[in-house]
């Protein structure tokens, strides 16, 4: 398991993340649970490895977008060689079209044990607007 | 056919579409192999790195409470046991999506050397488990001097 013996294998796994960072890293769609109650929509997303400050949530034009950035694994530059790689590490990104009007100011989110929880309160029932059609 | 070949640059006279496809297939397989290795049917999926002194095992365990995870080391074997809880639904709530896996899991892996079980360290942070497994002192590789 000497470092020098494993140079080829190491380069395969390390270079993409090491040299080009976020750009070449894979992006995964996180698994989500979405539930709805009368007053709100709740989204749970699995984003293992992402600290709270690296999560970006956006609601714009009825689209909810989640972005989460995973830091590099600690072993990358410390002379470790990969023995087993059953899962790949990458950032998370996913977007949903929201069916209801969401109260943008009321959105709350938290990250706990690698699960992002977003509460999207529904805005009051959108008032039906009557549009007058001008006759001739 | 010969005329066609001459019109196409960068194709040698040995061009064989079938073997080209086979090459492409191999290249694709390689690209995926180097990325994910062999995906395991077992849960959780593990990544393992090692140097001469220790191995680091990592696993993505979102939603697993540190208190609910059991890690045991015996001889050369590491065992992870725990549970991923389902999202709770109260009355009047309904699911739109339900993709996150849930349930109990248990996985054992054998390392190629004896572990110093006293000094195993584990952390579960942001749903990422990291277990550092030092190699037992007596099991480390030793340099043998050759007497002349």
Domain boundaries, chain A: 3-121
Partner-chain contact B36 A2, CB within 8 Å:
no
- Report the residue of A83, A88, A96, A116 to disrupt the B interface, i.e. the one with the largest count of B CBs within 10 Å: A83
What does pLDDT average to over chain A? Answer: 77
Report pLDDT digits (tens) over A78-95. Answer: 678 888 889 988 899 999
Q: What pLDDT does residue A1 have?
A: 39
Q: Do B93 and A84 touch (CB under 8 A)?
A: no
Q: Do residues B106 and B121 touch, judged by C-beta distance below 8 A?
A: no
CB A53 within 8 A of CB A135: no
What is the DSSP secondary structure assignment for residue A38, as one 8-state letter? S
Average the pLDDT over A87-115 and give the result. Answer: 89
Asked if B126's CB is within 8 angstroms of A111's CB, the reply is: yes
Question: Is the ipTM reported for this complex over the cut 0.90?
Answer: no
Confidence (pLDDT) at B10: 43
* pLDDT given for residue A29 in this prediction: 92
Among B61, B62, B78, B143, the strongest candidate for a mutation testing the A interface, having the largest count of A CBs within 10 A, is B62
DSSP, collapsed to helix, strand or coil, labels residue A20 as helix
Q: Which pLDDT band, with edges at 50, 70 and 90, does B144 fall under? A: confident
Name the pairing type of β-strands A27-28 and A91-97. parallel
Residue matched to tokens 């990458």: A90
B38, burial (CB in 10 Å: exposed 0-12, middle 13-18, buried 19+): exposed
And the tokens for A98? 């929201």
Class of domain A3-121: mainly beta
Q: How confident is the model at residue A132 (pLDDT cuts 50, 70, 90)?
A: confident
- CATH code: domain B46-89+101-137 is 2.60.40.790
Ordered by start, the domain boundaries in chain B are 2-36, 46-89+101-137
Given CB atoms, is B56 within the 8 Å cutoff of chain A? yes
**Pick from B108-112, B127-131, B140-144: least confident:** B140-144
Find the mean pLDDT for residues B46-72.
92
- Give the pLDDT score at A45: 96
Give per-residue pLDDT as tens, A19-61.
444 556 788 999 999 999 988 999 999 999 999 999 999 988 8
β-bridge mates for residue B46, sequence order? B59
pLDDT band at A71 (very low <50, low <70, confident <90, very high): confident
A33/B94 Cβ within 8 A? no
Going by the DSSP 8-state scheme, the letter that residue A87 receives in this structure is S
Residue whose pair of structure tokens reads 């044990």 in the numeric block: A113
């Amino acid at each position: 398991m000497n470092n020098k013996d494993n140079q080829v294998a190491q380069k395969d796994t390390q270079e993409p993340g090491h040299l080009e960072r976020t750009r070449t890293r894979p992006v995964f769609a996180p698994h989500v649970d979405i539930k709805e109650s009368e007053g709100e929509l709740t989204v749970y997303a699995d984003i293992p490895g992402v600290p709270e400050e690296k999560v970006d949530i956006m609601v714009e034009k009825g689209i909810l977008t989640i972005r989460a950035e995973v830091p590099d694994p600690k072993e990358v530059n410390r002379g470790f060689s990969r023995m087993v790689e059953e899962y790949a590490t990458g950032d998370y990104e996913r977007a949903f079209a929201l069916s209801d009007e969401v109260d943008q100011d009321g959105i709350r989110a938290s990250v706990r044990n690698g699960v992002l929880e977003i509460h999207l309160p529904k805005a009051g029932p959108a008032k039906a607007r009557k549009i007058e059609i001008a006759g001739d | 056919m010969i005329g066609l070949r001459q019109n196409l640059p960068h194709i040698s006279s040995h061009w064989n579409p079938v073997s080209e496809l086979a090459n492409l297939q191999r290249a694709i397989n390689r690209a995926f192999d180097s990325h994910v290795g062999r995906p395991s049917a077992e849960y959780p999926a593990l990544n393992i790195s090692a140097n001469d002194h220790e191995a680091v095992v990592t696993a993505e365990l979102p939603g697993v409470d540190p208190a609910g995870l059991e890690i045991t080391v015996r001889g050369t074997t590491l065992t992870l046991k725990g549970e991923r809880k389902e999202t709770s639904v109260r009355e009047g709530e309904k699911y739109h999506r339900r993709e996150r896996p849930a349930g109990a899991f248990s996985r054992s892996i054998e390392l190629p050397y004896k572990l110093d079980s006293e000094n195993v360290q584990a952390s579960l942070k942001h749903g990422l488990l990291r277990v550092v497994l030092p190699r037992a002192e007596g099991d480390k590789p030793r340099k043998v001097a050759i007497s002349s």
